[in-house]
Structure 1
Amino acid sequence: MKNTLMFILLLSITSIINAQNSIGGTVTDATTNNKIPYATIYLPQLEKGTSTNEDGTFILESLPQGTYKIVVSSIGFKTFSKDVTVNGAIKLDVQIAPSAIEMEEVIVSTPFHKLQSENVMKVERQSMEELKTKGAMTLSDGITDISGVESVSTGVGIGKPVIRGLSSNRVLVYTQGVRLENQQFGGEHGLGVNDAGIESVEVIKGPATLLYGSDALGGVLYLNPEKFAVQNSTEGDVNVNYFTNTEGVTANGGFKTSGDKLKFLVRGAYGSHADYQDGNGTYTTNSRFNEYDLKSGFGYQDTNFKTELRYNFNRSNLGIPEEIGVQNRDRDPLLPYQEIDNHVISSKSTLFFDKSSLDITLGYVANNRKEFEDEHHHEEHGDEHEEHGDEEHEEHEDEHEEHAHGDEAALNMKLHTLSYNVLYHLPETGKFETIFGVQGMHQTNENSGEEVLIPDATTVDFGVMATTHYHMKNSDIQIGLRYDTRDIEAKETGDVGSESYIPALNRNFNSFNASAGYRVTIAQKIIARLNLATGFRAPNLAELTSNGGHSGANRYEIGNEALKNEQNFQTDLSLEYGNEHIEFFVNGFYNAISDYIYLQPTGQFIDDDPVYQYVQDDSNLYGGEIGFHLHPHPLDWLHLESSFETVTGKLADSNVYLPLIPANKLSNTFRVEFDGKQVSNKYAFVTLQNVFNKNNVGDFETRTGGYSLVNLGFGATIKAYNQPFNIKLSANNLFDKEYVSHLSRLKPDGIYNIGRNINIGVTVPF
């Protein structure tokens, strides 16, 4: 009993001491000394923040002892950051300088929680709010506005990210802090994430194996979920969008509330689109799609411990366009179509010790991908279509649609992925910040449909890493080392000697990788970065085991169970300059990939389809991005932005170019921004996007002509009866240009990309 009382007393004393740890102070304008109300105060490592009140003061209480970065930001001012040692009641008075440059945000995808200007690794970041003002219909479409990022598309509903010419399993997607696994090896397998409830997108361009392991050889697309409400507050919003081209409607609504320790949020979304119309007025048959999405989160934060649990369910029904056929505005997909369910559960917890901390992230992703098709039905009505008119053909298409929704899935793959990521932040030693970590994944693939693209298999990953960041007055150095191993065990599939036979497989892949980066500020205006990094990717199941026809590409693919790791070494160099009038950047990279895996024709045919086999050879990719942003003072409302991006990829020992490399692109945007009382946050923009001829193409690609698109938009926040309404309107492909993207999977079928599309959106916060 005595020991119990002593333990309770010790806990009470510890709680009282921790409760006394706080940061309080004021935020003022550095030029006028005026107090700044509603400025944001945020501690990234603690994920805890507040806002200044009307007299510019703030306080953050119940903080664990230690050293943390504090970030202070406000619209129209330069973002302030500083390391603060918390031990008792700390007083901090912050002065921030006016600036026409947008507020800097904290980069989450790298482990040291730096502002972009402080980060050793160059990371592109865009808020979801900004991407939505440009009229993107889907998340995969919106990310193409980020420099160096494109999308391999199948219509408008299916898209997957391309980072500097690399895609599929060479680009890793993270959502809710865990890796998203959804059979991304397939060309027509899209991103599978709804943009509702996504706060921002971060892109690491280049090898990120050190941080994320295999499959991050080409880069990482990191999706940050929306934050919980500020402590002791409640908020919500409703968003509705209409798209004229597809007669599409998307809507989502969210609610979140936070108390002293507990936090909760929930958001539901729905979207429905008919077939899109190209620039010549033709509907792209079966490009229709619809989507349901639910995101929820629960958080708890005490003085020395914080945790959050998030869940996301997404169901997508996606038509797969094959040819131009029936012309109508129906929304139910025709055959073939996909029905995809994604369940993502993530748990992120942090334990704070005296001068160190431990991050534990656990994830579970369940992906069920079904594909419905009926080749016999197509053949049965194919000859009839030649004898009858379009009207009767439409009747057959209607029968086809009814038949579609009664069929069992021809392809039914279930992928279950458990992942973990444990990072220990050591106590800072002098100017060193050091992190040790272990990561791993256990994944099972199961087939229950008639068709088998990849066999039933189990994949187990394990990795161990260490990275350290050394701070100097005007520069930083970051180095790291990592070891990974991957075991793949696949079961035998089919009958020996049959076309669909896949033998059993048991392979192990492993790799050591390292990275080194240096950032220096030159003359307080120029930031230079040099990053050297290696990465690796183990071959995926499709590359190892394929043995069958690929209907979407009209070819027969044969895997190669002897494939080795892809291993790369990339050099990145970037320069940035900024003052009150202009910002300028230039990024260059050279990526040498050993044992690059690709498809090569054998010269044989099976069932009239050419046979391709997976082979390996060394390859090189190189290019970069260049751009500037003009905002002349005192005309801070005026913005002129321009960027150019280029990538070239080819085999190292020949002049053979790699497939799916995006065309060079030049974008110019003229934007104006104003503020007011009744009508605030006013903006308008016009963008001219020039995509150049793509003549350097892969062996089974054809050249693609260039094109120019004009996009425009405007928006504002309007108050009515003290209720704000955020209104936006945008028009993409304003002049209804008929064009085709080089990265469109519908290009071989002669199907054009989407024509003029006007988006009208309203957001009502409450």
Structure 2
Amino acid sequence: MKFLTFYFILFSCCFVGYAQHSGISGRITSKGNPLENITVKLIGLNKSTKSDRAGFYEFNNLLKGAVEIQFSGVSFQSKSIKANLQNDSLSLNIELVDLESNLNDIIITGVNRATELKKSPVPIAVLTKKSMDQNVNTNLIEAIVKGVPGVTAVTTGPNVSKPFIRGLGYNRVLTLYDGLRQEGQQWGDEHGIEVDEYGINRVEVVKGPASLTYGSDALAGVINMIPYTPNFESGKLRGDFTSNYQSNNGTFGTSLGLAYINHDWKYTLRATGKAAHNYSNKIDGLVYGTAFREYNLSASARVDKSWGFSKTAITYYNNLMEIPDGSRDSLTRKFTRQVLDEGDDIKNRPIVSVNDLSSYSINPLHQHIQHYRFYNTSQFKFENSDLNLLIGGQQSVRREYNHPTIPVQAGLYVVLNTFNYDVKYNLADFSGIESTIGINGMYQANRSKAATDFPIPDYDLFDIGVFYYAKKSFGKIDLTGGIRMDRRNINWNNFYVGTDSQTGFGKKSDEHDQAADLQFPAFNKNYYGLSGSLGLTYNISEKLLIKANIARGYRAPNITEIGSNGLDPGAHIVYLGNRTFKPEFNLQEDVGIIAYLEDADISMEIFNNNIQNYIYQSRLTDENGNPVVVVPGNLTYQYQQSKARLYGTELAVNLHPSSIKWLTFNNSFAYVVGLNKNEELLRLHGRDAEYLPFIPPLQIRSELKVTAQKSIGFLEKPYFKVDAVVFADQNKFYALDDTETFTRGYTLFNAGLGSTLKSKSGKNILDIFVQVDNIFNVAYQSHLNRLKYFEYYQSTPNGRSGIYNMGRNMSFKIVVPF
């Protein structure tokens, strides 16, 4: 009996000890200041809370044992802590670091597991919504250009910007929306990115070949645009209302976003509208054909469970955008409009009225772009590994109207359907090696509808690639590398074009029409690519590190490069492709050094990029050197292929003196040279063929910013900034057949201020941003502005050729959270 009593008491004590509860509490700060509304989550226990105004948080009634606590908040680096709860409550104070100045920022793009930014040898830049809000942006790509050195854009007016990374663009830059590759006829000059700029919370940019993870079309790099994911307490409805006005082209932009959390489920909804009339500059006045009207809708639902998560989302993009052609009166330089199809004389078109120039109505010659996206991304967690799945469908509908006598008749009408798939399995660690295997690709079908012009055939594309990626740390050295194999098939049947007897325009026809011409003979070809990378990061110390990476990229020729044979009405260009083109391969070496000091962040990156089978556009001329005109009033370009080399450097020096916390001075320098290595062209044409087209000039950006460290009345830490952007002369251009011309350098000065307005109770009322770009209304032409070449006369009365970029522009933006 004594032994039974002893064991009963012992068992009872053990049971009581096991069932005993504990707690966690603490204070969250940043630079000594308490942080409010920081989310504190107990991983795997479905428990979360928010810090109060004093930065205090607390959990009670927790069982003993190991627990992982995650701290996260907008504009701050997330932090995870593992702890072991005992009988006593745990006191845990946390210091968070600003996202913009932290080298340990967690990134996803370009790698296959969450990785600290400083550990990745691949050059990666992160841009937050806070940074984007503090600039004047006419579209999302422009915001990225202003925030990331080495990224530029080829533009066609204010609403079309195609990203370039280190001198490479078009299909060489892969754009992603929430990890899903963006497919929307991005081969054209005037084809922008179909994404709602107000719905993007974060942008990650990989500079350099990323074919290892994504396959073809990531030769130059990747831009991943990540939408907002709600992270607050359950049962709450949150949202924001954004309104933006820009003075130059009268842009009105409004966006309403809603987010709701119900236990494990998170829901978002956003609606956006934008409208603008023609933009202006002091040389051209209002530039006819640059107005636009854009609408966006998006919604998502995400569930988080112990097994992982699953998110389903849908987006809709609708854009009406005018088509500029640059035609003018030869003496007054006023813009004129096309009113005839047959018998049109560019020199005798009527002048556009003042009312039409300033109208928000979209003129008959315009583009109508619609983009639908539906996708699901999921993660399934296992004991020591996880499986990530992404599947999505997209439809891009593009109509370009270029017939003034029959305005409802589309010149171009194409529908592109794409199915994307991506499967990645993160294996369990083995001997300290983190590895991933994956398979991804897409199926695509493009079909022309009731149009009159057919620059590309109806084609089918199937893409598949498999890869292996691994990383391992050896003390201060982090190694990463992998290999990938791709196969892409592109095929189409015979494509015939005839003539509509009623309108006289072209029409899609078939082989049974005796009068039809075979515009695109049947084609079927497979393209294969082997790519890979190897890189290391040497952490000399926590504050100083060196990176080196070598990568081989691959890109199959796109549809216009191999199959085009006709007019793209929106571009005013007749494209001629080459069916014999080979895939592009590049070998790029990157070396970088980063110093994260008390008073400054300093980074320098140097790259060298050699490309085999580089494809580029060149104007077509006859044997006498005269431009070939296939369609009157439109340029003719033929694609070429040769060796190429690009090299350059990027330098960033961001000063934030610890003794003067209210002052920051950020500076960046970017320079790239693109060399055409076609020996025959160089022998025949010398310097005219020495360089590649679309290479940005040397660029320097400097920003001086003053931020109050305390509230001033109802203004929470207001800021004021001034910045200057210097673009050097671009005398290294592709001059053969006048494809490009010299571009004079210029300097733009900008200024801005902003703050958060708070109520007496300390609640955020709204964020306000005021910004002026091009303060001195400088007349300039960007070297990457396609409108620079929209000119019909050899000489002009004012000595100015082509169309100039936007003049002074003032922006007023408010963001109202609720």
TM-score by length of 1: 0.87
TM-aligned CA deviation for residue 128 of structure 1: 2.4
- 1:51 and 1:518 mapped to 2: Cα distance? 38
- The yes-or-no answer on 1:630 pairing with 2:655 is yes
- 2:23 and 2:545 mapped to 1: Cα distance? 31
TM-aligned CA deviation for residue 560 of structure 1: 1.1
Of the structure 1 ranges 117-126 and 212-221, higher mean CA displacement relative to structure 2 is found in: 117-126
**Equivalence for 2:145:** 144
- The yes-or-no answer on 1:716 pairing with 2:745 is no
- 1:182 and 1:317 mapped to 2: Cα distance? 15
**Equivalence for 1:478:** 480
Pair 1:585–1:332, CA change in 2 (3 A): same
Pair 1:46–1:214, CA change in 2 (3 A): farther
TM-aligned CA deviation for residue 606 of structure 1: 4.6
Is the 8 Å Cα contact of residues 403 and 409 (structure 2) preserved in structure 1? Answer: no
- 1:66 and 1:477 mapped to 2: Cα distance? 31
TM-aligned CA deviation for residue 150 of structure 1: 0.9
TM-aligned CA deviation for residue 87 of structure 1: 12
TM-aligned CA deviation for residue 280 of structure 1: 3.5
Of the structure 1 ranges 654-663 and 156-165, higher mean CA displacement relative to structure 2 is found in: 654-663
Tell me which amino acid in the other structure corresponds to 1:658: L
**Equivalence for 1:429:** 430
Is the 8 Å Cα contact of residues 336 and 374 (structure 1) preserved in structure 2? Answer: yes
Pair 1:498–1:128, CA change in 2 (3 A): farther
Is the 8 Å Cα contact of residues 454 and 567 (structure 2) preserved in structure 1? Answer: no
Q: Equivalent of 1:693, from 719, 729, 741?
A: 729
Q: Deviations over 1:365-401 (max 9, x none)?
A: 11001100116x5xxxxxxxxxxxxxxxxxxxxxxxx
TM-aligned CA deviation for residue 346 of structure 1: 1.5
Is the 8 Å Cα contact of residues 43 and 71 (structure 1) preserved in structure 2? Answer: no
Tell me which amino acid in the other structure corresponds to 2:704: F
- The yes-or-no answer on 1:531 pairing with 2:549 is yes
Tell me which amino acid in the other structure corresponds to 1:107: I
**Equivalence for 1:661:** 695
Q: Deviations over 1:407-428 (max 9, x none)?
A: 1222111001100111111112
TM-aligned CA deviation for residue 138 of structure 1: 1.3
Question: SS of the residue aligned with 2:495?
Answer: coil
- 1:545 and 1:100 mapped to 2: Cα distance? 46
**Equivalence for 2:375:** 346
**Equivalence for 2:363:** 334
Is the 8 Å Cα contact of residues 128 and 199 (structure 1) preserved in structure 2? Answer: yes
- The yes-or-no answer on 1:683 pairing with 2:686 is no
Q: Deviations over 1:449-501 (max 9, x none)?
A: 22212111110011111111112332311111111110111122125897771
TM-aligned CA deviation for residue 186 of structure 1: 0.6
- 2:702 and 2:248 mapped to 1: Cα distance? 24
- 2:727 and 2:74 mapped to 1: Cα distance? 36
Q: Deviations over 1:87-115 (max 9, x none)?
A: 99997946437789735642121322123
Pair 1:92–1:441, CA change in 2 (3 A): farther
- 2:275 and 2:139 mapped to 1: Cα distance? 11
**Equivalence for 2:190:** 188
Is the 8 Å Cα contact of residues 44 and 113 (structure 1) preserved in structure 2? Answer: no
- 1:311 and 1:23 mapped to 2: Cα distance? 41
Tell me which amino acid in the other structure corresponds to 1:108: I
**Equivalence for 1:385:** none
- Spell out the pairing of 1:321-720 with structure 2 (5 A cutoff): 321-323=324-326, 324-325=335-336, 326=352, 327=354, 328-374=357-403, 377=405, 404=407, 407-448=408-449, 449-494=451-496, 501-549=519-567, 556-601=574-619, 603-604=621-622, 605-607=628-630, 612-652=637-677, 653=679, 654=682, 656-674=690-708, 675-676=710-711, 678-698=714-734, 699=736, 700-720=739-759
TM-score by length of 2: 0.82
- 1:244 and 1:56 mapped to 2: Cα distance? 44
Pair 1:470–1:309, CA change in 2 (3 A): same
Tell me which amino acid in the other structure corresponds to 2:729: N
Of the structure 1 ranges 278-287 and 304-313, higher mean CA displacement relative to structure 2 is found in: 278-287
Tell me which amino acid in the other structure corresponds to 1:279: K
Of the structure 1 ranges 164-173 and 21-30, higher mean CA displacement relative to structure 2 is found in: 21-30
Tell me which amino acid in the other structure corresponds to 2:740: E
Question: SS of the residue aligned with 2:280?
Answer: coil
Tell me which amino acid in the other structure corresponds to 1:693: D
Pair 1:499–1:201, CA change in 2 (3 A): farther
- 1:45 and 1:618 mapped to 2: Cα distance? 53
Is the 8 Å Cα contact of residues 402 and 569 (structure 2) preserved in structure 1? Answer: no
- 2:206 and 2:167 mapped to 1: Cα distance? 13
Is the 8 Å Cα contact of residues 28 and 51 (structure 2) preserved in structure 1? Answer: no
Tell me which amino acid in the other structure corresponds to 1:125: V
TM-aligned CA deviation for residue 191 of structure 1: 1.3
Is the 8 Å Cα contact of residues 733 and 756 (structure 1) preserved in structure 2? Answer: yes
Is the 8 Å Cα contact of residues 529 and 555 (structure 2) preserved in structure 1? Answer: no
- 2:230 and 2:358 mapped to 1: Cα distance? 39
**Equivalence for 2:777:** 736
- 1:633 and 1:437 mapped to 2: Cα distance? 45
**Equivalence for 1:135:** 136
Pair 1:59–1:485, CA change in 2 (3 A): farther
- 2:485 and 2:717 mapped to 1: Cα distance? 49
- 2:559 and 2:42 mapped to 1: Cα distance? 42
Tell me which amino acid in the other structure corresponds to 2:395: A
Question: SS of the residue aligned with 1:454?
Answer: coil
- The yes-or-no answer on 1:311 pairing with 2:345 is no
Is the 8 Å Cα contact of residues 712 and 732 (structure 1) preserved in structure 2? Answer: yes
Pair 1:421–1:68, CA change in 2 (3 A): farther
TM-aligned CA deviation for residue 264 of structure 1: 0.7
Question: SS of the residue aligned with 1:694?
Answer: coil
- Spell out the pairing of 1:257-336 with structure 2 (5 A cutoff): 257-280=260-283, 282-323=285-326, 324-325=335-336, 326=352, 327=354, 328-336=357-365
Q: Where do 5+ consecutive residues of structure 1 fail to align? A: 1-18, 378-402
TM-aligned CA deviation for residue 335 of structure 1: 3.9
- 1:31 and 1:175 mapped to 2: Cα distance? 34
**Equivalence for 2:259:** 256
Is the 8 Å Cα contact of residues 585 and 626 (structure 1) preserved in structure 2? Answer: yes
**Equivalence for 1:400:** none
Q: Deviations over 1:517-548 (max 9, x none)?
A: 10121133212111111111100111111222
- 1:193 and 1:564 mapped to 2: Cα distance? 31
**Equivalence for 2:344:** none
Pair 1:62–1:439, CA change in 2 (3 A): farther
Is the 8 Å Cα contact of residues 727 and 745 (structure 2) preserved in structure 1? Answer: yes
**Equivalence for 1:762:** 814
Q: Deviations over 1:716-738 (max 9, x none)?
A: 11124655121110000111111
Tell me which amino acid in the other structure corresponds to 1:642: N
Is the 8 Å Cα contact of residues 44 and 106 (structure 1) preserved in structure 2? Answer: no
Pair 1:680–1:56, CA change in 2 (3 A): same
Question: SS of the residue aligned with 1:494?
Answer: strand
Number of aligned residue pairs: give it. 716
Is the 8 Å Cα contact of residues 229 and 257 (structure 1) preserved in structure 2? Answer: no
- 1:274 and 1:597 mapped to 2: Cα distance? 36
Pair 1:602–1:411, CA change in 2 (3 A): closer
- 1:422 and 1:22 mapped to 2: Cα distance? 41
Tell me which amino acid in the other structure corresponds to 2:108: V
- 1:214 and 1:66 mapped to 2: Cα distance? 44
TM-aligned CA deviation for residue 344 of structure 1: 1.1
- Spell out the pairing of 1:102-141 with structure 2 (5 A cutoff): 102-103=101-102, 105-109=105-109, 110-141=111-142
Pair 1:455–1:281, CA change in 2 (3 A): closer
- 1:360 and 1:580 mapped to 2: Cα distance? 41
- 1:312 and 1:703 mapped to 2: Cα distance? 41
